[in-house]
Amino acid sequence: MMQQYLRIKAEHPDALLFYRMGDFYELFHDDAKRAAPL
């Protein structure tokens, strides 16, 4: 799962990448830090 996330993130470094985990969407690493204040 994380390999896929990192591959997609490398292709779109400026986008916030939401990753579906069951019924929820999650943000990881710097994306989570960028989105936390929103």
Q: What are the pLDDT digits (tens) for 15-36? A: 999 999 999 999 999 999 999 9
Contacts of 13 (CB under 8 A, 6+ apart): none
**What confidence score (pLDDT) does residue 20 get?**
94
**What confidence score (pLDDT) does residue 27 get?**
96
Mean pLDDT of 5-20: 96
**What confidence score (pLDDT) does residue 1 get?**
86
- Expressed as residue numbers, the domain containing 16 is 2-35
User: Helix, strand, coil: what percent of the chain each, to 5?
Assistant: 45, 15, 40
> Are residues 17 and 27 in contact, defined by beta-carbon separation less than 8 angstroms?
yes
CA 25 – CA 36 distance, rounded (Å): 14
Name the E strands within the chain: 19-21, 24-26
How many structural domains is the chain composed of? 1
At 8, the amino acid letter reads I
**What confidence score (pLDDT) does residue 31 get?**
96
